[in-house]
């Protein structure tokens, strides 16, 4: 038996549920409904890295100038504006892919950005935009990307949308080392937030749903409050 290197998520309460943090390197899918806190989760992860002086790369397809996502995020306590462009670099994923549509070109572009910025943490929000543009090549890109980030020693978060009848994108979940679901479930006509760790390779983690809260501190997980 061996132990695996860990990287803290920055989400209060979560790391203690997963042997101290995400396996490093690894690719983790964070999936959930609209408004379930996926973007906040990812920002906390990047800001925690910035706090620890670990460079972060934010590949995003957010509908707006990148400054805006930081503007929105700056309403959280952890979202320090000075990180932007310094510890955390953002890349407009959609534009990049539109310019270079060949599988190998896109992959090379991502690799050269990674080699240039030497990130320890990456967020891709979201991979589905790649799917829209690349079509059939998407799955192969996904597979090659997974290998690349492990060769280069990076912890990656990828976001995925829940759609009716499918709580997470199956193809990414299959390849990912970890799958985390954020629920915003309707219970008796109101909504209750929770987190669920479906899978995490090399990690002994609890099953089931645990209460979360979203405040100006971002997400907080309550490992003692199983739903």
Are 50 and 87 contacting, i.e. CB atoms less than 8 angstroms apart? yes
Token pair 């909504």 is at which residue? 191
| Binding window for a second copy (CB under 8 A); candidates: 10-18, 46-54, 101-109, 201-209 | 201-209
ω into 204 cis (within 30 of 0):
no
Is 170 a binder of a second copy (CB under 8 A)? Answer: yes
Alpha helices in the chain (DSSP H): 38-51, 66-73, 93-99, 103-117, 128-134, 138-151, 170-175
Nearer to a second copy by C-beta: 3 or 53?
Answer: 3
Could you tell me if residue 208 is left (phi over 0), alpha (psi between -120 and 50 degrees) or otherwise beta?
left
Nearer to a second copy by C-beta: 1 or 53?
Answer: 1
Strand pairing category for 88-92 and 56-60: parallel
Residue 29, SS3?
strand
CB of 122 to a second copy, least distance (A): 15
Nearer to a second copy by C-beta: 52 or 205?
Answer: 205
* Rounded distance between C-alpha atoms, residue 109 and residue 121, angstroms: 17
| Binding window for a second copy (CB under 8 A); candidates: 44-52, 83-91, 108-116, 146-154 | 146-154
Are 194 and 218 contacting, i.e. CB atoms less than 8 angstroms apart? no
Is 108 a binder of a second copy (CB under 8 A)? Answer: no
Is 166 a binder of a second copy (CB under 8 A)? Answer: yes
Token pair 């997963």 is at which residue? 18
Nearer to a second copy by C-beta: 11 or 172?
Answer: 172
Is 100 a binder of a second copy (CB under 8 A)? Answer: no
Number of residues interacting with a second copy: please give it, by CB under 8 A. Answer: 70
Beta bridge partners of 210: 195, 226
Is 173 a binder of a second copy (CB under 8 A)? Answer: yes
User: Which residues, 5 to 24, sit near a second copy by CB under 8 A?
Assistant: 23
| Interface characters, 180-199, with a second copy (x: CB under 8 A) | ----x----xxx-x----xx
ω into 25 cis (within 30 of 0):
yes
Is 165 a binder of a second copy (CB under 8 A)? Answer: yes
- Beta-carbon count within 10 A of 59 CB: 24
Q: Which residues bind a second copy (CB under 8 A)?
A: 1-4, 23, 27, 33-35, 39, 61-65, 68-69, 71-77, 79, 81, 94, 98, 126, 128, 132, 139-140, 142-143, 146-147, 150-151, 161, 163-166, 168, 170, 173-177, 179, 184, 189-191, 193, 198-199, 201-204, 207-209, 215-216, 226-227
């Amino acid at each position: 038996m061996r132990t695996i290197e860990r990287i803290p998520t920055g989400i209060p309460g979560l790391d203690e549920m997963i042997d101290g943090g995400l396996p490093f390197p690894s690719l983790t899918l964070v999936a959930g409904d609209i408004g379930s806190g996926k973007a906040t989760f990812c920002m906390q992860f990047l800001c925690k890295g910035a706090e620890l002086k670990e460079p972060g790369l934010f590949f995003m397809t957010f509908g707006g100038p990148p400054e805006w996502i930081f503007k929105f995020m700056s309403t959280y306590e952890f979202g320090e504006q000075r990180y932007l462009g310094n510890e955390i670099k953002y890349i407009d994923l959609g534009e990049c892919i539109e310019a270079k549509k060949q599988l190998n070109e896109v992959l090379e572009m991502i690799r050269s950005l990674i080699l240039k910025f030497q990130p320890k943490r990456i967020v891709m929000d979201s991979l589905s935009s790649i799917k829209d543009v690349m079509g059939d090549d998407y799955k192969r890109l996904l597979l090659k990307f997974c290998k690349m980030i492990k060769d280069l020693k990076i912890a990656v978060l990828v976001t995925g949308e829940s759609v009716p009848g499918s709580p997470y994108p199956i193809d990414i979940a299959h390849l990912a080392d970890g799958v985390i679901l954020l629920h915003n479930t309707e219970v008796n006509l109101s909504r209750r937030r929770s987190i669920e760790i479906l899978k995490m390779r090399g990690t002994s983690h609890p099953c089931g749903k645990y209460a979360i809260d979203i405040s100006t501190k971002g997400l907080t997980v309550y490992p003692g409050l199983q739903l």
